[in-house]
Structure formats: structure tokens, C-alpha cells
A = this chain, B = another copy of it.
Amino acid sequence: PADWTELDKRAVDTARVLAADAVQKVGNGHPGTAMSLAPAAYTLFQRTMRHDPADPDWPGRDRFVLSCGHSSLTLYVQLYLSGYGLTLDDLKALRTWGSLTPGHPEYRHTKGVEITTGPLGQGLASAVGMAMAARRERGLFDPEAAPGQSPFDHHIYVIASDGDIEEGVTSEASSIAGHQQLGNLVLIYDDNQISIEDDTAIALSEDVAKRYEAYGWHVQTVFGGENVAGLTAALDAAKAETGKPSIIVLRTIIGFPAPTKQNTGKIHGSALGAEEVGKVKEILGFDPEQDFQVDDDVLSHAREVVKRGEAAKAEWLKGFDAWAAANPERKALFDRLTRRELPEGWAAKLPSWPVDAKGVATRKASGDTLSAIGEVLPELWGGSADLAESNNTTIKGADSFGPASTATKEWKATPYGRTLHFGIREHAMGSILNGIALHGPTLPYGGTFLVFSDYMRPAVRLASIMSLPVTYVWTHDSIGLGEDGPTHQPIEHLAALRAIPGVAVLRPADANETAAAWKATLEKRSGPVGLALTRQNVPTLEGTDAEGVAKGGYVLAEAEGGEAKVVLIATGSEVQIAVAARKILQDAGVPARVVSMPCVEWFDQQEQSYRDQVIPPAVKARVVVEAGIAQPWHRFAGDAGEIVSIEHFGASADYQTLYREFGLTDDAVVAAAQRSIARVEGNK
């Protein structure tokens, strides 16, 4: 561009040298892309994006997503140059214990990092969620403003790599972005045609630009990573296109200008070696003897972005204050959401159900709960991966989120709507939910069948790594779904999801526990929660308790006629089986306690004294019953205990037959209890 100075050029070259030096120092890492993307990243941080390094949480900021997280230096160096607090010493500590510069960017760990990236495709897919969240935010607070005139207007910028482009989650999310006409989303695709197996021609032949046209994106191509003028013009055109997401295919040479290693797979993921680093410095006019060289005038030039950011924010504040003055109620809502608080008295809206043997499916109770609280919690929004009616994810009366042109006979769509339609794209749903939660200030949820949590698992893991308040509505949570058979019946999924550190799996026993599950989920807001809900009706039980649900487990039915001789532990639809078994045992003179354990993770967080109260260490006779594998339950059952579980895939039949044939019955629980009691007595 015309105003591109020698100092700008030198700053870009400094970024390249720092990347080479940092990887060389630690001995491993990804220098190549950080070198070739330096002009693009510098352009974004210095010229294109509206941001204030002094206030990384400014709600009016543009967001930056580095989808190719392995190129973390691309981001770290710009955070350093633009004054986010990272120092040269931090860059020197790259990829070492306790540093602010881990191998991949980590949200909440390093200021200015908007999202944890690394697993390919996730950043780009979550950026689609951020763009959706930005539109929803505008709709909540300032829907009448003319385009571009609201303090809630901003952009989401993404840099993505060949790997991102190849991942399926990207395809799903990119299709959704085109469908949603997300004009606030700008993607730079670093088309360097090199990945770890070297020239991508060995695995990638598709016409990426045409593919994105097919998704309905605005497509531009810029030749040359050093072509800053071309990139700047393309970024301007992308911003000018408000009706479509934009992709800029930026043809770069990885590792430029390393004389022997540029344009090879080696420079993607290994240090350059001292000699090559020296040559890079020579080529760029740096002292080959000096490491981490940053000229003072370069740094002060780059740091001028702090002043520009301050000014931009001050300008923005005028508009924001005017909006606040004109919209006191919306401002109050904005403040409440920013404080991450729920409105006073909201819980009074939660429905409750009378004790009832016929009962109701917990998925239905979840849907009723959502519709009941939806009115007082405008921040809550979500939908399903094409299973709205099965997942009961639609808040009654809510419009669908989408351009009016996407409306159908069944769904009224508006750009600021509340009901999300992900299509049959569970993985993108997961990543988009992450993006919405990251963007703030709304609270998203998304539904599919529990078995298809497998499709979204990488996104769930990232939600947990980032402790995001995302809620999954996973219905059809066992063989209880019946006729659809083994491909649709979760067996290992409760265990496999509990296995992810930080994910709370909530499996309510009945309608009232379901409402309590939503209550606790919204109040804790500590990380991702997966609700595992039944397809089939379950009785509404006596004794279920909202506080007990929040504690993860509690005594649902106490032993009678003496201290408990056996503790029956169950979750979800199997609690009714435990209750029925308890009756048989009690009738036979065996005092038996039933513990409902909707959330193992929350139970584990309670004081030892509470846990011992619920499952007394002295009562070693125990039975756990859950329609899934036993793996998570051995530590509760103990050596003397029994687990009534399913250790094989399901089958296609009505669910009553399956429960009977697979031995998930009250009789089986009674027999297991007797075996366990006998074992304990034999040990005495």
C-alpha cells in the first residue's frame, strides 16, 4: 500500500526472524508459516482490525482466530509487536513449562488469544460461531441500527491453512456460513500447498475457490505472501461485501525467504538449523550473529497501534454511550450478561411435575424447561443438528436464526432469530457452539442423539479445555431409543464423555431432575455440560431433589427398617429400576438405599463428608445400574459391589424387549444386591 514504510517492511521481517529464532532456540516447533504469514498477520493487527491491545476484552473489538494453531508464533509475535503484554523473553520461552507461549495458542492463558487452536478445522469452524454470535448480539441489543452503524458491528478474521481446508468440520461450518450469509466473517486461506507430507498435491486436488463459491462465499485470490497491497485491497473488498462471508485465497511460499528450506514440508514443523537461520537473517539484512533482534524504532513503530486502538475505542465509546442512553433496558441486559449473571427470580419459571408412574421422557421435560425459561433468559439460544423435534430443542415461539430467504413452511427465519438449524452437521455444531460461547455474551446449546456425540467429540474436548459454558442436549441416551438399533444406541458414550476432563455428563432420572439439571447448569457455568436424556417416558419419581442434582448425587430413597445393607446407585432411566429393586429388597426385609447420581463429575467435587454420607464407606454391598458400560462405575461399586451394565452393542427392537433381553431389570438388580451382600458377609 502507498503508506507502507520501510519500518513496516522491517517489522514484518522482524516477525520472520523472531519466528525462526524462537523455534531454533527451543529446538522444535513450526517456523515456516509464521515466516510466510508475517505480512498478512502484521497487516491484520496493524491496519485491518479494530482492536485495543490495552483492553483485550473490549466488546467492540474485531476477533482474530488463528485456525492453524501450530503456527502460534504468527500470533505471539503480533501480540508482542502490538503490545498485548507479551515480551521478548516470552518469545524466548516458546514451548517451555509455564511460559505464556505454549506450542499452540491457549485461551485464558495468554492475553489477546481469543481461542485455543491446534486441532485443525476447529478455529475456522468456531469463527463461524463467533460471526453468528456477533449477529445475535446485535439483534439483542441494537437491531434497528443501519448496517455498519452499530457499536455491535465488528468482524471476525481468520487465518487458516491447507489442513483446515481439508478437515470435514470446516466443510460443514463453511456451508453453514454461506447459508447464513455471514458478511462479518473474513477468512484468509494460507494456500502454501505444503503440509507435513510436503507438496499437498499428493492428497489435495480440489478447486478450493470453486468449492467456496459453491458454499455461497465471496471468493478472491491474491498471489504472493509479500503482496501486501493486493492483500489489503482484498481485505477492503471483503469488508465491503456484507452479504456473504469472504475467503481470500492467499498464495504464499512457506518459510519464505529461507534459502534452502522454503517451500518444503521440513520447514513446516522443524527448526531451520543455525545455518539456515543465519542465512535468513542475512537475506533480510539482520545481523546473523544476533538472536531475537528487534530494533527500537521498529518496536515503537509497531506499538503505535496501541494509540490507534485507544482512539478507536474512544470513538466507539461515543456510539456505545449514545446507544446506552437511548436503550436503558437493553443496556441493563447487556450489563447483566457481561457480568455473567442470571436475572433475579428466573428460577421461579422452572416447571415442575407431579409424581406420576407414567411420567414423561426427559427430552420432553428438557424442551418444556427451555420454553419456560426462554422468556426470562434471552441469552439462551440454540438448536439441533436436524433433530429439533426429537431433541426438543426449540424454545416455543422463537424465530429461526437465518436470512429471511431461508425460511420454510415449518420455520420462520429472521437474521436475529433464536433457533439454530445446524443441518446434519454435528461436528460444526460443536465448534460453532464454542465460537458463540467465546464471543459472548450469549449462552448456546445444541442437540443431537447421544450416539452422535462421537461426531462432535473434538469440539467437546476443546470446549472443556477452554471451560466454555456450552450445553449439549444429547437425547436418545441408551438402548431405550429402541428400534433404530446398534448404530444409534449409545453404549460406551456416557463413559467416553465422562472420560474427558472437565466435561460434566448429566443424566437426570426424571422430569424434575431434568429441570434441576438445567438450573444447575446455568448457575454453575463452569464448563461444558452434556445432558443425556431419554427418548422413552420415565416415571416422575418421589424424592427427586434439585439440590441433590446440583451436588451430582444424593439419597433418593432411604433404607427403611434399619441401616442400609446395600446401596443401589443409578442414573437416568435406570433410577426407576433401582427404585423398583429397592421395593423388592425392602419387602424381603433387606434395608436398601437408592442413590440417584445424575452427575459423577459434580459429585466428585463435593466434600468427602458429603460423599461418605451418600455412599457410606462402611456399606460395601453396592449395586450400580446404568444402561451403558461399567467402566466408570468400578470405583463406586468397589470390590464387593456389582454393576448391572451393557458391555456389547445394542440391537434393533422395542426398548422394553431390549431392557429385558440385556438384563437391565429390577430382578437383575435384586440378584446383584443379594450377591453383593453375600460377598460382604462372606468376608466378615
Shortest A65–chain B CB gap in Å is 14
Closest to A449 in B: B119
Chain A residues 97 to 112 lying within 8 A of chain B, measured CB to CB, are 97-99, 102-104, 106
Which residues on B sit within 8 Å (CB–CB) of A169?
168
A389 to B198, CA, bound (A): 10
- Cross-chain contact A203 with B179 (CB below 8 angstroms): yes
Chain A residues numbered 101-135 whose CB sits less than 8 Å from any CB in chain B: 102-104, 106, 116-120
Residues in B whose Cβ lies below 8 Å from that of A461: 454
Residue of B nearest to A422 (CB): B203
A651 contacts B by Cβ under 8 Å: yes
Residue A511, interface by CB 8 Å: no
A160 to chain B minimum Cβ distance, whole angstroms, is: 11
Q: Are B501 and A631 in contact (CB under 8 A)?
A: no
Contact A202:B411 (CB < 8 A) given known A97-B657, A425-B167, A485-B118: yes
Q: Which of A3-58 contact B (CB under 8 A)?
A: 26, 28-29
Contact with B along A475-509 (1 / 0, CB 8 A): 00000001111111001100110111110000000
Q: Check A216 against B206 for contact (C-beta < 8 Å).
A: yes
A457 is an interface residue with CB less than 8 A from chain B: yes
Q: What is the CA–CA distance of A29 and B451 in the complex, to the nearest angstrom?
A: 18
Pair B26/A487 contact, Cβ less than 8 Å: no
Expressed in whole angstroms, the minimum distance between the Cβ of A459 and any Cβ of chain B is 9
B residues in contact with A457, CB < 8 Å: 454-455, 457
Contacts of A654 in B (CB 8 A): 96-97
Q: Which residues of the partner chain B approach A365 to less than 8 Å between Cβ atoms? A: none
Measured CA separation A559–B402 after assembly (Å): 68
The answer to whether A681 has its CB under 8 Å from any CB of chain B is no
B409 touches A199 (CB 8 A): yes
Chain B residues, Cβ within 8 Å of A424: 120, 162-163, 166-167, 195
> Is A103 in contact with B483, judged by CB distance below 8 angstroms?
yes
Size bin of chain A's contact surface: 35 or more
B458:A458 contact, CB within 8 angstroms: no
Contact in complex: B216, A214 (CB < 8 Å): no
B interface footprint on A392-424 (CB within 8 Å = 1, 0 otherwise): 000000001010001111110100000001111
CA distance A495 to B500 in the complex (A): 9
Q: Is A648 engaged at the interface, CB distance under 8 Å to the other chain?
A: yes
- What is the CA–CA distance of A451 and B500 in the complex, to the nearest angstrom? 12
Complex: A200 Cα to B408 Cα, angstroms? 8
Q: Which of A26, A409, A482 has the most chain B CB atoms closer than 10 A to its own CB? A: A409
| A387, CB-defined interface residue at 8 Å | yes
Tell me whether B484 and A163 are in contact (CB under 8 A). Answer: no
Q: How far in angstroms is the closest Cβ of chain B from A536?
A: 12
Judge whether A653 and B118 touch: CB under 8 Å.
no
CB pair A213–B210 under 8 Å, yes or no, is yes
A523: CB under 8 A from chain B?
Answer: no
Shortest Cβ distance from residue A253 to the other chain B in the assembled complex, whole angstroms: 15
A296 within 8 A of B: no
A-B contact list, 12 entries, CB within 8 Å: A28-B482, A106-B485, A117-B487, A119-B487, A195-B423, A196-B388, A197-B387, A197-B388, A202-B410, A210-B214, A495-B499, A499-B631
